[in-house]
Amino acid sequence: MQEEYGLSLNFWRKVVFIFIFFAFTPLTLFLSILSLSALSTHEEKYSKTREFVNYPKPGAMVYASVPQEVP
């Protein structure tokens, strides 16, 4: 009797995990595609209203002294 209860519980646990997987996977994919599309349209707004070439770029500039002739 104890083994049958354990097998039944194990079966229902697997069924619940499979149900959760198939319920949340399409939801996750839909939300990720929705967020990607929202971010892509958001970048187009900024690229049209502002020219990034005219503004200084952040970061460090490294200058090197190079000899005229390489030995």
Which pLDDT score, from 0 to 100, does residue 15 have?
94
Hey, what are 24's tokens?
């949340």
As a whole number of angstroms, the distance between CA 21 and CA 15 comes to 10
How many beta carbons lie within 10 A of that of residue 25, not counting itself?
Answer: 10
> What pLDDT tens digit does each residue of the chain (71 aa) get?
556 666 788 889 999 999 999 999 999 999 999 988 888 765 555 555 555 555 566 676 777 777 777 65
Which pLDDT score, from 0 to 100, does residue 48 have?
56
The domain segmentation of the chain, as residue ranges, is 1-33
As a whole number of angstroms, the distance between CA 33 and CA 11 comes to 34
Residue tagged 């229902």 (tokens): 12
Alpha carbon 62 to chain centroid, angstroms: 32
How big is the chain, counted in residues?
A: 71
